[in-house]
Amino acid sequence: MEKFQTRRRDDFPGLAGGWHYLDTAATAQKPQAVLDAMNRAMGKDYATVHRGVYKRSADMTLAFEAARRGVAEFIGAASENECVFVRGATEGINLVANSWGDANIGAGERIMLSQLEHHSNIVPWQMLAERTGAQIDICPLTEDGCIDLDWLEANLTEQHKMVALAHVSNVLGSILGANRAAKAAHKVGAKLLLDGCQAAPRMRLNMTELDCDFYVFSGHKLYGPTGVGVLWAREDTLNAMPPWQGGGAMIDKVSFEGTTYAPAPGRFEAGTPMIAEVIGLQAAIDYVDAIGLEDIFAHESGLAKQARDALRGINSITLHGPEESAGIVSFTMQGVHPHDIGTILDEEGVAVRAGHHCAQPLMEHLGEPATARASFGIYSDESDVTALVAGLERVSRIFAQ
Ligand SMILES: Cc1ncc(COP(=O)(O)O)c(C=O)c1O
């Protein structure tokens, strides 16, 4: 852990002043390298992409497309053409539901989700089901809060066309057995979409090994900017999907008699794209890659384990989720609303998330209206765990009075 840190906190202006930031699962703080890259992209390097014939624009286009190659390498994609830039994971899932979903899912056919999904991986499918008359099924969780793959395997049928699951839960930190889920989905002829929002910043990804059909993640949880994310799918899958937004840049030829569309990924990137954000995402990926995803995973899951072990010492605390968590720990304290936990911890300089975490069906399953959540990042260290525990001991003393 010593080796891992090497003064990394100093790279993050947002952490100045000794703040214990434990809300990285909501959004990660940004290293100076990302701010600098975006500053250059918005300043001395700024120009549009894909259109200009002048050198500045040609250079920016090269940088933009190099970033796409960087993303492809980072996630083990076969080609950069498999990587569509979207606004974030939410937009990526909406794209798949609207384009692939409308073209491939009809009345009476089924979509499989799980009890722990983020609203972003529920609502677009509900909207699709409303449009098409498709049905939604919910895969339950194991006792320790993982997606129950035994149940999934036993209950998928040939009516299921889409299985859409979180790779890592944003509330419980539970990690999906993605290969088993892929095998189960493919066995019945369904596609597998993985919501990788919480996995991309913590786990080495390889699209071929994962064997899913769609993968989405957001830049801002990966130490990059908001307003950019990635949808990955194989090129033939993307090229068989109809565009979902029309406009400039996504076309082959436009006439009033009819319009033809560009091949992927362009056909899904209508309009001027998020130029500085893509450059910032590339800088974030370079930063994370230089540390190494394997070390990041070990570091964050180690901190989560330390936190769980320490929190077990406070009698009134219930820990949710599995022991093996990808850097995310959710808990409740008997007789104390999570918002009060969050407010008192804030007074101690500790920032945690309190609420339903955009996962209300999971809250219902836990029998809690809300939980408190501590989530770790590459800048987190043992001092954050110590501050969290000390803060919670204070909460416990206040409410015991
Ligand atoms: C698991 C998961 N899925 C989807 C999302 C939505 O991401 P975004 O709001 O960046 O589109 C989040 C963000 O909290 C998440 O944690």
Domain-wise residue ranges, the chain: 2-22+292-400, 34-289
- Sort residue 262 into left (φ over 0), alpha (ψ -120 to 50) or beta: beta
- Residue 24 CB less than 6 A away from ligand 1: no
**Which residues neighbour 324 within 8 Å (Cβ) at sequence distance 6 or greater?**
175, 301
For ligand 1, what atom is nearest to the CA of residue 87?
11
Q: What is the mean pLDDT of the chain?
A: 96
Q: Catalytic residue at 358?
A: yes
CA 397 to centroid of ligand 1, rounded, Å:
34
Rg (CA), the chain: 22
pLDDT for the residue numbered 74? 98
Q: Enumerate the β-bridge partners of residue 168.
A: 175
Residue 111: closest CA among 100, 125, 124: 125
Would you state the structure tokens that stand for residue 158, as one six-digit string? 């040939």
For ligand 1, what atom is nearest to the CA of residue 220?
10
For residue 391, which amino acid is it? Answer: G
Instruction: Give 81-104 as a 3 state SS string.
Output: HHEEEECCHHHHHHHHHHHHHHHH
The answer to whether the beta carbons of residues 270 and 248 sit under 8 Å apart is yes
User: Which portions of the chain are predicted below pLDDT 70?
Assistant: 1-3, 5-7, 401
The active-site residue, picked from 83, 139, 197, 358, is 358
- DSSP for residue 113: E
Long-range contacts of residues 257-264, Cβ cutoff 8 Å, at least 24 apart: 263/81, 263/239, 264/81, 264/82, 264/84, 264/235, 264/238, 264/239
Distance of CA 275 to the CA centre of its chain: 21
CA 6 to centroid of ligand 1, rounded, Å:
29
**Which residues neighbour 340 within 8 Å (Cβ) at sequence distance 6 or greater?**
395, 399
For residue 365, which amino acid is it? Answer: H
Alpha helical stretches, state H, 86-177: 89-96, 102-104, 123-132, 149-155
The helix or strand, by DSSP H or E, that contains position 333, with its residue range, turns out to be: strand 328-333
Distance of CA 333 to the CA centre of its chain: 27
> Which of 91, 119, 221 should be mutated for ligand 1, with most atoms under 8 A from CB?
221
CA–CA separation, 192 and 155 (whole Å) = 15
- Residue 168 CB less than 6 A away from ligand 1: no
CA–CA separation, 150 and 159 (whole Å) = 18
CA–CA separation, 138 and 122 (whole Å) = 10
> What is the bridge-based pairing of β-strands 350-351 and 251-255?
unpaired
Would you state the structure tokens that stand for residue 249, as one six-digit string? 């840049």
- Helix axis angle, 275-291 relative to 55-74, nearest 10°? 40
pLDDT for the residue numbered 4? 72
- DSSP for residue 70: H
pLDDT for the residue numbered 5? 67
CA 90 to centroid of ligand 1, rounded, Å:
6
Would you state the structure tokens that stand for residue 23, as one six-digit string? 């809300």
CA–CA separation, 269 and 295 (whole Å) = 34
Q: Which strands make up the sheet holding 317-320, listed edge to edge?
A: 317-320, 328-333, 371-375, 353-355
CA–CA separation, 285 and 137 (whole Å) = 35
pLDDT for the residue numbered 8? 85
CA–CA separation, 118 and 221 (whole Å) = 14
CA 188 to centroid of ligand 1, rounded, Å:
28
Q: Enumerate the β-bridge partners of residue 332.
A: 318
CA–CA separation, 383 and 128 (whole Å) = 46
Q: What is the pLDDT of residues 214-237, one digit of tens each?
A: 999 999 999 999 999 999 999 999
pLDDT for the residue numbered 51? 79
The answer to whether the beta carbons of residues 378 and 34 sit under 8 Å apart is no
* pLDDT above 70 as % of the chain: 98
Residue 178: closest CA among 188, 189, 164, 190: 164
CATH 3.40.640.10 is held by the domain 34-289: yes
- Residue 375 CB less than 6 A away from ligand 1: no
CATH number belonging to the domain at 2-22+292-400, selected among 3.20.20.10, 2.60.120.260, 3.30.70.60, 3.90.1150.10? 3.90.1150.10
